[in-house]
């Protein structure tokens, strides 16, 4: 089973399929091979709108608390990264994460963190705080962060993306 076939047969959650497709496109060959065992797990994950929205929120949450902290660590903002990692997947906590990112925008930009990576993290925290659901953007954010990372960071990001995909399979509304 490959991702293209999975999209054709429509038996998998489109949110998870799009996420897997985007990270697959961004991954290097070695990391792409690590993704292969997860693809069959997507079959039969089609659910309803509530489940899809819960998965969207989860993927955005993971970007804010798992992927973006790796980006911050890579430019020496370790304490800031650690603070992001403790936020929870609730409206209140994501609202606090959004405010935290907004309050720290200047030092983040000063450390030469990619502006788009910051904007994704801030907008996802803010969106989760207010339950906005723009469904496919989360996959692009992970792929973007991976594409601009150095090799050691890419390995960490790939591991977190794969872990996130497996965790998202279990998400229920």
pLDDT (tens digit per residue) in 30-48: 888 988 898 889 888 877 8
Give the residue from 49, 42, 35, 31 showing the smallest Cα distance to 5. 42
* Residue 100 confidence (pLDDT): 92
CA distances to 26, 27, 173 from 146, rounded to whole Å, are 7, 7, 28
pLDDT given for residue 3 in this prediction:
57
pLDDT at 85: 95
Q: Cβ(154)–Cβ(146) under 8 Å?
A: yes
How many CB atoms lie under 10 A from the CB of residue 87?
Answer: 20
pTM (two decimals):
0.81
pLDDT band at 132 (very low <50, low <70, confident <90, very high): very low
CA distance 22 to 16: 10
What per-residue confidence (pLDDT) applies to 78? 92
Q: What's the average model confidence in pLDDT over 130-146?
A: 54
8-state DSSP, 150: -
Instruction: Give kind and range of the element (H or E) at residue 49.
Output: helix 49-62
What are the tokens at 98?
């959004």
Give the chain's radius of gyration (CA, Å).
15
Q: How far apart are CA 153 and CA 135, in angstroms?
A: 26
What pLDDT does 5 receive? Answer: 59
């Amino acid at each position: 089973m490959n991702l293209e076939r999975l999209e054709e047969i429509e038996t998998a959650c489109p949110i998870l399929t799009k996420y897997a497709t985007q990270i697959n496109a961004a991954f290097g060959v070695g990391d792409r091979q690590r993704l292969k065992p997860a693809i069959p797990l997507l079959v039969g994950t089609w659910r309803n709108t509530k489940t899809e929205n819960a998965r969207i929120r989860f993927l955005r949450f993971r970007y804010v608390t798992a992927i973006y902290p790796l980006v911050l660590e890579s430019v020496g903002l370790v304490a800031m990264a650690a603070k992001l990692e403790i936020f929870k997947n609730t409206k209140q906590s994501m609202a606090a994460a959004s405010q935290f990112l907004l309050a720290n925008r200047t030092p983040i930009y000063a450390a030469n963190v990619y502006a788009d990576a910051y904007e994704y993290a801030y907008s996802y925290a803010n969106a989760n705080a207010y339950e906005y659901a723009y469904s496919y953007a989360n996959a692009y954010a992970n792929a973007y962060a991976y594409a601009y990372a150095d090799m050691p960071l890419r390995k960490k990001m790939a591991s977190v993306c794969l872990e996130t995909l497996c965790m998202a399979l279990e998400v229920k509304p």
